[in-house]
Amino acid sequence: MATVSVVCPVFNEELFIDAVIQFFLAAEPIDKELYIIDGGSTDKTVEIVKQYAEAHTNIRLIHNPEKYVPQALNKVIPLCKGTYIVRLDAHTEYDASYFTEILETFERTGASIVGGPMRAIGVSSTQKAIAYATSTPFGVGDSSFHYDNIEGEAESVYLGAWKKSIFEKTGLFDEKFVRNQDDEFHYRAKAMGFNIWLNPKIKSYYHPRSTLRMLWKQYYQYGLYKPMVLSKIKNSMRLRHFIPSLLFLYMLVSPFIVAAGFWYSVLFLTLLLPMVLYWVLDFFYSFKCQKGAASQIKCLIVFPILHLSYGSGFLRGILKIV
């Protein structure tokens, strides 16, 4: 029986899927299996996977007509033969020791869920700006799995690896969550007493969105589904979840504050102070970026996009559940 079952949901990943499979074949341990779950790709993804599946009996292609990640995971988890299930993402590069570090962490800590931090890397100046911004306190708050120097118990990890046995008690992924399904599952597992361990030696490198428009859409959806997660797992609420929506509301009313014209009053200065502070922090963290002048300039836009897209999505998500 395989020690490790590897699962990878995909959609139109012809540019990346070959590297993922090559990594799987080369990495230790040898005793493992791979399930690639395709969500209806229209490019050559399925053709590439079929070629590998014909040559390797431990690689299987599963079709997912429902398209989304939670349905994909739920289709293959019952099929997995391994003691441990490891999720991969096609837009991520993995260190050669990825699987062995996961197994070592399970054995050393006794945790039920383990994983590493989200290390974002980029090729273009936009990707580099996003990678930097999402690894700063100003960008993402105190979310520990965005930092690569922290080890210990955590609320969540990037992608994640799970003892298969825990699904008997937790159940599978909640298919309502097109986004944030990993957060919801990890929060639910933690609330049930299963411990989650973050280990920076579990190394992977995530490629962020390549355009600002795609970034806005991504973080809007993160915000949109987060209130559903928090309403389901109430003890997972943290202050950082609410700050972007408060910022979004403040940005909406700030023009009216200016238009009110209390130019020299203490009230006006007090109301305007958060706006000034926000842009000071934006400039400070943007020009602290060490990824080149173009990325520094783009950071000035990336930080507000992260905050305002998430914040507006979060407010919309609240309206959907009330």
Q: Which long-range contacts (CB under 8 A, 24 or more apart) does 53-57 make?
A: 56/25
Query: What's the CA gap between 193 and 188, in Å, rounded?
Result: 9
90: three-class secondary structure by DSSP: coil
**The pLDDT of residue 2:** 60
283 burial (CB, 10 Å; 0-12 / 13-18 / 19+) is middle
Residue 267: pLDDT band (50, 70, 90) is low
Residue ranges of domains in the chain, CATH in brackets: 4-212 (3.90.550.10), 230-321 (no CATH)
Distance from the first to the final alpha carbon of the chain: 47
Mean pLDDT, rounded, for 166-192: 90
Residue 112 vs residue 253, higher pLDDT: 112
**pLDDT exceeds 80 at position 149:** no
Residue 41: closest CA among 73, 60, 64, 18: 64
Query: What's the CA gap between 228 and 132, in Å, rounded?
Result: 28
**pLDDT exceeds 60 at position 263:** no
Q: Please give the model's pTM, rounded to 2 decimal places.
A: 0.85
**9-45: per-residue pLDDT in tens?**
999 999 999 999 999 999 999 899 999 999 999 999 9
Query: What's the CA gap between 142 and 258, in Å, rounded?
Result: 32
Query: What's the CA gap between 296 and 128, in Å, rounded?
Result: 9
Asked if 2 and 32 touch (Cβ cutoff 8 Å), the reply is yes
Mean pLDDT, rounded, for 131-137: 91
